[in-house]
Amino acid sequence: MQSLTIRAAKTSDIPLVRELILALAEYEKLAHVFELTETQLREALFGERPSAECLIALVENEPAGFALFFTNFSTFLGRPGLYLEDLFVKPHLRGKGIGKALLRSLAGIAVSRNYGRMEWAVLDWNTPSIEFYKSLGACALQEWTVFRMDEDAIQEMAA
């Protein structure tokens, strides 16, 4: 494969990362709920209290994909973990080891920080991704159901 570089995102990458996240939303058929602004992304990644981190994959200096992640915590393990929010490789560059390289970089971060787990969610219809993750040794947690409260539900609960 051509030259592949994985590096941490920089503030100058904000427009690129937003563009890649939008491409992911389109792939997942969720562009209709996409609201992320560059200002929000800058605050999340580089603000006073960053809530996430991002890796960028480049092939021959062409942006190829990204991984956005944050720290979670397992009370049972008593250790933090890495939660992968988004992993995306541009369609024309898939199958070249870029996704695996991003996951390998994330695993390296998890090891260096003594994290106990890496976790993520995948849409149930996304068979190519599910098979890819299984091929790397990840397993689906069939006994868990993901729950979510949207902003309206949070406001109502807090009232």
pLDDT in tens, 79-90: 999 999 999 999
pTM: 0.93
Q: List the chain domain ranges.
A: 4-158
CB neighbours (10 Å) of residue 80?
16
Q: What is the pLDDT of residue 1?
A: 55
Percent of all residues in the chain with a pLDDT value above 70, rounded to a whole number = 99
- Strands (E) located in the chain: 4-8, 53-59, 62-74, 79-89, 118-120
Q: What is the pLDDT of residue 59?
A: 96
Name the DSSP class of 55.
E
Domain 4-158 has CATH 3.40.50.10320: no
83 assigned to active site: no
- Options 27, 83, 115, 133, the catalytic residue: 133
